[in-house]
Amino acid sequence: MEKVLSWVEDIIGKFEKERLNILTLFIWIFILSFTRTWVEAYLFNYPYAELSYKYIFNYAHIIFFYFAVYLMGVVVLKFFSKEKLMKVANLSAWGFTVILLPPFLDKFVFHTTT
């Protein structure tokens, strides 16, 4: 059990040391948010799956929502962990990839249609 905990601590330490600047964090969260939005639209045949100008407000709304979720998560984690803000932001950026899972789980595990 100690080896597993040590391994997890090593991985977390690596992510914490990976220094992403503000621009890189912004681009990373944007890519994750856009990918999540498009994958969900594509898998469930939503009309905004076609990347058209008429759906730009759908994408903007959803992407800004994910930015707000990320920022709130960073603030809450920083408050409770008492760590440096950038350390929390860097680790949270990698953990935020979990937002890509729900569309795949809904479609392929739970067989949701809409």
**How far is residue 68's CA from residue 2's CA, in Å, rounded to a whole number?**
36
What's the pLDDT at 33? 97
pLDDT band at 21 (very low <50, low <70, confident <90, very high): confident
**How far is residue 38's CA from residue 30's CA, in Å, rounded to a whole number?**
12
Instruction: With a cut of 90, say whether residue 113 has pLDDT above it.
Output: no
- Average pLDDT of the residues in 31-42: 96
Residue in the structure block whose two tokens are 């890509």:
100
CA distances from 25 to 3, 9, 22, 29, 105 (A): 31, 22, 5, 6, 26
- Average pLDDT of the residues in 19-48: 93
